[in-house]
Amino acid sequence: MSFRRVVTVALFAITLVPAIAAAQTSTYPMTFGIKAGVNASTLSTQDNQLDTSNIWGAVGGIFTGRNISENLGIQLEALYSQRGAKDISTSAETRIRLTYLDLPLTARFGSTTANDVHFHAFTGPQLGIKLSAKAENDFLGVEEDLDDEVKSWDFGWTLGAGVEMNNVSLDARYTLGLTNIDNSESSDGSIKNRTFTVLVGYRFR
């Protein structure tokens, strides 16, 4: 997928929150900020196609949101996200590195604007747009492009909780991939993303 298409999709998605919020009461202001953290991800496979373990990756981006009521809000994020897994089925471990633009749209239970310590929980769908897919093997010194073997998008569901103090937040989430991302012609199995994420955020407003 070209950089222009990625930017277009991201900008279109980010406009969804203001459009939805505009239909609600104007009592609650829009919020926006930045987030960054780490992913611990793996791949769930059908019929033992791969023997995998977790791999670490970076994640970060921007968010915007708005409360609909005192304790219910919506939030949209656009996150650069490194996912994948280690294939440990052979003695020479191979790292499968998948990079996505993740667009989670979540309902938040708990205030997003209070200037004190408060907890919140959130859940909602996530669309992942593939940016790259590679297999790396340091032992053999090779890198393989897997772009044609991995689908260009991934749909999942996110569930998490966090705490916010003034403008700083910390949240942990688990995203269950629901799409079979295996696009190879030779396989009739299923490979799905599984990702645990910890993010630190800063809200500008």
CATH tag, 3-203: 2.40.160.20
100 has a pLDDT exceeding 70: yes
Average pLDDT, integer, range 25-51: 82
* pLDDT attached to residue 143: 84
Map the chain to HEC letters.
CCHHHHHHHHHHHHCHHHHHHHCCCCCCCEEEEEEEEEEEEEEEEHHHCCCEECEEEEEEEEEEEEEEECCEEEEEEEEEEEEEEEECCCCCCEEEEEEEEEEEEEEEECCCCCCCCEEEEEEEEEEEEEEEEEEEECCCCEEEECHHHECCEEEEEEEEEEEEECCEEEEEEEEEECCCCECCCCCCCCEEEEEEEEEEEEECC
pLDDT bucket at 42, cuts 50 / 70 / 90 = very high
Strand partners, 35: 61, 201
Return the structure tokens found at 16: 């969804």
Angle in degrees, CA 119, 58, 149, rounded to 5: 120
What would you measure as the largest C-alpha separation in the chain, in angstroms? 60
The length of the chain is 205
Q: For residue range 52-89, what is the model confidence (pLDDT) as tens digits? A: 788 999 999 999 998 888 889 999 999 999 999 988 77
Asked if the model's pLDDT at residue 23 lies above 60, the reply is no
Give pTM, 2 decimals. 0.83
Instruction: Identify the weakest region by mean pLDDT among 8-17, 100-109, 183-192.
Output: 8-17
Residue type at 119 in one-letter notation: F
The confidence score (pLDDT) of residue 17 equals: 52
pLDDT at 7 over 80: no
Q: What local confidence, expressed as pLDDT, does residue 194 receive?
A: 96
Q: pLDDT-derived band of residue 24, with 50, 70 and 90 as boundaries? A: very low
